[in-house]
C-alpha cells in the first residue's frame, strides 16, 4: 500500500511539474514576443529576405514574433572562422520559422544548437562493409539535421536560399523540415500531423508521389520535383517542403494532391504570397 501511495505521489508531482513548466514556458514566450522587433533586424529582413514583404501583413507580424522566440531559445555556433552576428541569426531564423506559422508548435523542441559553417563542409560518417569492417566515409555537405539537437548549415547557401526564393531550393527549409519530421521520434517522412489531418490520406498521397519520383529517377524521365527526393521518404518530405514554399503555383498545378497535404500541414497557402 505504501509503495502504491509513493507511485501515486510521484506521478502527481510529475504531472504538476509538466503543467507548471508548460505554463511558465508559454508565459516566457509571450513576454519575449511582446518586445518590439529590433530596427536592425527589420533592415536585415529587407536586405536578405525579400519574400518577407510578399507575405500577408498578419503573417509578417506572426513570423517576427516567432523569430524572437526562436532566437531567444536557440544557440548559434560558428565553425571554421564563421562569425555569428545578427545577420546570420536573423536570416536563418526567418526561414526556419516559416515552417511554424499558424501551427501549434513547440519551436523545434529537440533542437538546441544551429552550427554554421562559412560554406560547404566535410563530415566523417562511419560505415560497415559486409564483413563488418568499419571505415570512414568523407562527405561534402551543405547542411545536416541531427536528432541529437543540432542543425548544421552552410552560411553561404543559407543566405542565397533566402535571397532567391523562387528556384525551389532552400537549405534552411530543407533541414528544418527534417527537424519537424523527427518530432515523431523517427525521421521517415511522416511528421506528427495536425489534429484534423488524416494520416491515411497523408500516407496515400505522399507514398504515391514518392513512388512516382523514384520511377522517374530510375528511368531518367524529367520531373518537376528534385530527384534527390527519391532517396528516401524523409528526403522526399524535405524536398517537397522546399518547393511548397518557393514554387507553390507550379506545385499546386502539377501535384495538386501533394500541395493540399502540405498546405493542410503547414497551415499556409503560399500561392497567395507570390505577386
pLDDT given for residue 1 in this prediction: 56
For residues 4 and 206, which has the higher predicted lDDT (pLDDT)? 206
* pLDDT one-digit tens code per residue, 42-59: 999 999 999 999 999 999
Residue 105 pLDDT level (bands cut at 50, 70, 90)? confident
Measured in degrees and rounded to the nearest 5, phi and psi for residue 219 equal: -90, -10
> To which residue does cell 544557440 refer?
75
Measure the CA–CA gap between 155 and 190, rounded to whole angstroms: 28
pLDDT given for residue 5 in this prediction: 43
Measure the CA–CA gap between 77 and 154, rounded to whole angstroms: 12
- Burial 225-236, CB ≥16 within 10 A → b, else e: bbbebbeebbbb
* Second CATH level (architecture) for the domain 37-272: 3-Layer(aba) Sandwich (3.40)
pLDDT given for residue 15 in this prediction: 43
Residue 133 pLDDT level (bands cut at 50, 70, 90)? low
Cell of 209: 508521389
102: left (phi over 0), alpha (psi -120 to 50) or beta: left
> To which residue does cell 523542441 refer?
109
Are 255 and 248 contacting, i.e. CB atoms less than 8 angstroms apart? no
Query: Is residue 10 over pLDDT 80?
Result: no
140: left (phi over 0), alpha (psi -120 to 50) or beta: beta
Mean pLDDT (whole number) for 209-232: 97
pLDDT given for residue 120 in this prediction: 85
Query: Is residue 211 over pLDDT 50?
Result: yes
Cell of 216: 522517374
pLDDT given for residue 4 in this prediction: 45
pLDDT given for residue 138 in this prediction: 59
* pLDDT one-digit tens code per residue, 145-190: 887 789 999 999 999 999 999 999 999 999 999 999 999 999 999 9
pLDDT given for residue 274 in this prediction: 63
Q: Is the dihedral of CA 18, 190, 243, 146 positive or negative?
A: positive
Percent of the chain with pLDDT over 90: 77
* pLDDT one-digit tens code per residue, 116-129: 999 987 776 565 55
Residue 271 pLDDT level (bands cut at 50, 70, 90)? very high
Domain spans, the chain: 37-272
Half-sphere exposure of 188 (CA within 13 A, CB side): 8
Query: Is residue 13 over pLDDT 70?
Result: no
Measure the CA–CA gap between 250 and 246, rounded to whole angstroms: 9
Measure the CA–CA gap between 78 and 116, rounded to whole angstroms: 5
Cell of 197: 489531418
Amino acid at each position: 500500500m505504501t509503495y502504491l501511495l509513493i507511485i501515486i505521489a510521484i506521478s502527481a508531482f510529475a504531472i504538476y511539474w509538466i503543467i507548471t513548466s508548460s505554463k511558465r514556458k508559454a508565459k516566457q514566450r509571450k513576454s519575449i514576443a511582446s518586445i518590439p522587433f529590433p530596427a536592425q533586424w527589420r533592415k536585415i529582413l529587407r536586405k536578405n529576405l525579400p519574400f518577407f514583404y510578399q507575405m500577408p501583413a498578419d503573417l509578417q507580424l506572426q513570423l517576427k514574433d516567432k523569430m524572437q522566440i526562436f532566437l531567444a531559445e536557440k544557440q548559434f555556433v560558428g565553425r571554421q572562422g564563421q562569425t555569428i552576428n545578427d545577420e546570420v541569426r536573423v536570416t536563418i531564423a526567418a526561414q526556419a520559422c516559416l515552417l511554424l506559422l499558424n501551427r501549434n508548435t513547440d519551436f523545434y523542441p529537440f533542437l538546441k544548437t544551429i552550427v554554421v559553417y562559412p560554406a560547404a563542409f566535410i563530415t566523417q560518417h562511419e560505415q560497415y562493409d559486409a564483413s563488418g569492417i568499419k571505415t570512414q566515409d568523407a562527405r561534402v555537405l551543405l547542411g545536416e539535421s541531427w536528432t541529437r539537437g543540432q542543425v548544421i548549415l552552410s552560411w553561404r547557401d543559407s543566405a542565397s536560399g533566402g535571397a532567391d526564393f523562387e528556384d525551389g531550393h532552400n537549405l534552411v527549409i530543407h533541414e528544418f523540415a527534417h527537424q519537424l519530421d523527427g518530432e515523431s521520434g523517427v525521421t521517415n517522412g511522416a511528421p506528427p500531423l495536425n489534429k484534423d489531418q488524416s494520416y491515411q490520406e497523408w500516407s496515400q498521397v505522399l507514398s504515391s508521389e514518392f513512388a512516382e519520383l523514384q520511377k522517374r529517377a530510375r528511368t531518367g524521365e524529367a520531373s518537376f520535383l528534385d530527384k534527390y527526393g527519391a532517396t528516401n521518404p524523409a528526403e522526399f518530405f524535405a524536398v517537397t517542403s522546399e518547393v511548397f514554399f518557393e514554387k507553390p503555383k507550379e506545385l499546386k498545378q502539377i501535384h495538386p494532391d501533394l500541395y493540399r497535404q502540405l498546405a493542410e500541414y503547414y497551415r499556409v497557402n503560399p500561392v497567395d504570397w507570390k505577386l
